Structure 1
C-alpha cells in the first residue's frame, strides 16, 4: 500500500509541475492531466500510519512525562530526514532559478521561512513550503503526538479502559468529516486528516478484538459524510482501509507482497516521498539549460527523473532515514513500571 501510494504521489507531482510536463503535453497531455487531477493517495499513508501507531504507540504504558521524550523521538524519526531535504533543496533551487518557473520554486528563501520549517510551522504561519510533500511530515508529527496525548488521557483518567480515547476519536472524526474537512484552509492541521488516521486505528482494534463492529460503524459514518458532501479523498481512504482490514484478517498481509520489488518500494516509500520533488526540479533545470525541450526529450526527462528518484530514495533511505530511525529509538522512554508491576502492565495492555 505504501509503495502504491508513493508511486502515485510521485507521478501526480511529475504531472503537476513545469517545465517537463508542459513540454511533454503534446505527447502525453491527456494522461498527464488525468494524473494531475486524480492521482492522489496521501490518505493511504494516513490510514497505514494510524494502523502502525495503534500497533506501537497504542501498546505502550504512558505518562505525561513521556510526551516530551516522544516528541524528540518523533522529531528524529520524521524531522531529520525532512530537514535533510530542506537543506539539500536550497542549492538545487539556486541551480534552477531562472530556468524553472518561479511558481514552482517560490520566492528566495528567507531566514524566517527556514526557521518556520525547522519547527514544522511553515503552513501554519503562512510561509511557502520549500518542497512538495513537506506538509505531510508536519501533519504526521501532529497526528502521532496527538495520538500519544490521547493515550495519556486514556490511561491517566480512564483506568485502563478505552472510553476516553474512543469518545475523543469518534468526536474528532465527526467534527472533521462534517465541518473541518470541508474547509481547505484547515489542511495545515491534523484535524483535517484525523478521520483517515483514526480509521487505521480502528482497523487494528477490529483485528485485535476479532470484531469489526466499530470499524463497520465508522465506514457507515464515512458514507454519510460522502453523501453530505462528495469528497473523492474519503472514498480513497475507505477503499484502502477496507483493503487493509481484509488483508490482515485473511492473513494475506503476512504473506504478501511476494515481489521483492514491491517490498523494496514500500520500504523506501517515505524517502521517495521526500526526494522526488528536488530530483524533478533538478532534472527540469538541467533539461532547460540544455534546451532539451522537445516533447520526446521531455518524456525522456520525466522517465529519467523517475528512475533518478528511485535511486536517490534508496540512497536516502540507507544513509539518512535509517540512521534517523535508529537515533530516534534512543529517546524512547521506558515504560513507567518496575519489575513488580509487569502483571499489571500486561493486564492494562490486554484491556
Structure 2
C-alpha cells in the first residue's frame, strides 16, 4: 500500500488537480479569460465552475496519504504530535513564504498599469504576520494570494488527524478489546457524518477544517478499507460513509460531494496495478510524476505568475483573442516552470528552523519593499 504520493494513481490525480486549479484561477481572475470567454464561453464557464472541484480530489488524496503515513504510529504522545505538526507546518510554510514574497512584489510592480480586482491591497505588517502563521482567514484578513486558505485548512486537517489518532489510542487503552484502528475509523465516521449533515452547510465555517473533513475522512477511510481488503477482511467503514454521503447528496445535490465520493471510491476499488507506474513508463508518465511531486509548489506560486502574465498581455493586446488565449496557456507553462524551481530549491531541501527564519525574513523584506514601491508610485 502506498504511503506517499509515489503511487501512480495518486500521482495522476494530483497532477490533474494541479493543472485544473491553475486553469480555474486563470478563468476566475482574468482579464485574459474575459477576452477568451467572448469566443469560448462554455470552456471558461466550465473552468470557472467545475475545475475548482480539483480541491476535493486533493482533500481525498490528502486523507488517504495521511492515513498511510500514520498507520504505524503505535503511541502518539504530546511531544511526538508537536514534532510532527511542526514538521508539517515547515513543509507547508517554506514554499508558501517564498511564493508570497513573489506575489507582493509583483502586485506592486504591476499595480500602476493594471487596475484589476484580482490585485490584493497593499499588505499591512499585521496581515503579513498572519500569513506567516496561516491565520489570515481566521482573523478575517484579506489573503495575499489565491489558494492560501487551502494551505491553512490542510494544516488544520492534519492536526485533526493527529487528534483523532491520539483519542483513538486512548480509547483503545480504555477498552482493550477494541483496537485503535477501529476507534479511529469510528471517530472519522462521526466527523464525516457531522460534516456531511451539518458543518458543510454552514458557509461561515469554510475557513475551518470541520467544513471540509468529510472529504478528508473519505480519503482516510478509503485507505483503511483498501488495507482491510488486501488483508482478506471486509471493511465496513467506507461503505457506511458512502451511504451517508449518498443520502446527503440526495438531500442536497452538489458537485463537491459527488467528486469526493467518486475519487474515494476509485481509491478503494482500483486494481492494485493502478498504483504502479505503467510498463515502459515514458516521457508522459515521468511528466505526470514530476507535476505530482511539485503540485504544491505550483499551487502556491502560480497566482503571482498569472498576475504578471495577465498584466503584460492585457496592456499590449487588451481585446485580441489569440494573444490572450496563448497568454493563458503561457501562464500555465510558466507556473509549472516556477513550481519546478520552487520545489527544487525551497520545498525539496530538508526544512529547518534556520531556513524558516530565513524565508520569514525574505517575506518581510518583500513586504517592506512593496510598501516602498507603493509609496513611490503615489
TM-score (norm 1): 0.88
Q: 1:74 maps to which residue?
A: 88
Q: Does 2:58 align with 1:45?
A: yes
- Check conservation: 2:60, 2:216, Cα contact below 8 A: yes
Q: Which runs of 5+ in 2 are unaligned?
A: 1-12, 174-178, 355-378
1:327 to 346, 351, 362: 351
TM value normalised by structure 2: 0.82
Match of 2:376 in 1: none
Cα distance per residue 1:271-299 (max 9 Å; x no partner): 12112111100111122343554222111
- Provide the C-alpha distance between the structure 1 equivalents of 2:68 and 2:353, rounded to a whole number of angstroms: 16
Map of 1:91 onto structure 2: 105
Instruction: Tell me how many residue pairs correspond in the alignment.
Output: 327
Instruction: Say which SS state the counterpart of residue 104 (structure 1) adopts.
Output: coil
* Matched residue, 2:273: 251
Aligned mates of 1:244, 1:163 — CA distance in 2 = 20
Instruction: Say whether residues 1:222 and 2:245 are aligned partners.
Output: yes
Q: 1:329 to 1:66 in 2, by over 3 A?
A: farther
Equivalent pair of 1:58/1:151 in contact (CA under 8 Å): no
3-state secondary structure, aligned to 2:100: helix
Cα distance in 1 for residues equivalent to 2:251 and 2:353: 43
d(CA) in 2 for partners of 1:21, 1:151: 44
Query: Is 2:82 aligned against 1:56?
Result: no
Task: Show the counterpart of 2:9.
Answer: none
Indicate the SS of the match to 1:59.
coil
Instruction: Tell me the residue number matched to 1:276.
Output: 302
Residue equivalent to 1:314: 340
SS where residue 103 of structure 1 aligns?
Answer: coil
Residue 146 of structure 1 aligns to a residue whose secondary structure is helix
Instruction: Select 1:240's aligned residue among 259, 263, 266.
Output: 263
Runs of 4+ in 1 over 3 A off after TM superposition: 98-102, 255-258, 288-293
Cα separation, 1, equivalents of 2:222 and 2:237? 9
Q: CA deviation at 1:59?
A: 2.1
Aligned with 1:315: secondary structure?
helix
Work out the CA distance in 2 between the residues paired with 1:202 and 1:50.
Answer: 8
User: Can you give the 5+ residue segments of structure 1 that lack an aligned partner in the other structure?
Assistant: 331-351
8 Å CA contact retained: 2:186, 2:237: no
1:168 alignment counterpart: 187
CA distance in structure 1 between the aligned counterparts of 2:340 and 2:219, rounded to whole angstroms: 27
CA–CA separation in structure 2 for the residues paired with 1:207 and 1:97: 51
Q: Deviations over 1:75-99 (max 9, x none)?
A: 1111111111112211100122143
Do 2:137 and 2:207's aligned partners in 1 also have CA atoms closer than 8 Å?
yes
Distance apart, 1:31 and its partner CA: 1.2
Deviation at 1:329, TM superposition (A): 12
Is the partner of 2:195 in helix, strand or coil?
helix
Computed over aligned residues only, the root mean square deviation of the Cα atoms, in angstroms, reads 2.0
2:242, 2:273 → 1: CA distance? 22
Match of 1:190 among 209, 213, 222: 209
